[in-house]
Amino acid sequence: MNKFDRRKERYTIMKEFTYTVTDPLGVHARPAGILVKEAVKFTSDITIEKDGKSADAKRIFGLMGLGVKQGHTITVRADGADEDAAIAAMQALIKENM
């Protein structure tokens, strides 16, 4: 299997979920900080995407730069050894705090 095929296979097992933000203030400093604090617990790459732009969930300025407001839909992806645990934790955290 060549490198491209391995990358393609890797991406097909990536975990993800979508969520529409309900917090009236969107993703501001407090929830972004909470997300980062949770994301750094995992070795998997965790990204959050909105309108084609994505940010590393382990970097607060990247999250803030997405400009997520109430009513916006985000996609959260986890890819790595602990992606199942990472996506479950991020989904629970986001539903509780956003």
Place of tokens 């407001």: 69
Q: What is the pLDDT of residue 2?
A: 45
Say which of 16, 28, 85, 91 is annotated catalytic. Answer: 28
Answer yes or no: 28 catalytic.
Answer: yes
**C-alpha to C-alpha distance for 85 and 88, rounded to whole angstroms:** 5
**C-alpha to C-alpha distance for 92 and 76, rounded to whole angstroms:** 12
CATH superfamily of 15-97: HPr-like (3.30.1340.10)
In the structure encoding, which two tokens stand for residue 46, read together? 């965790």
Helix (H, G, I), strand (E, B) or coil at 58: coil
Q: Helix axis angle, 29-39 relative to 83-97, nearest 10°?
A: 160
pLDDT confidence tier of residue 14, bands split at 50, 70 and 90 = confident
pTM of the predicted structure, to 2 decimals: 0.82
Encode pLDDT of 51-90 as tens digits.
999 999 999 999 999 999 999 999 999 999 999 999 999 9
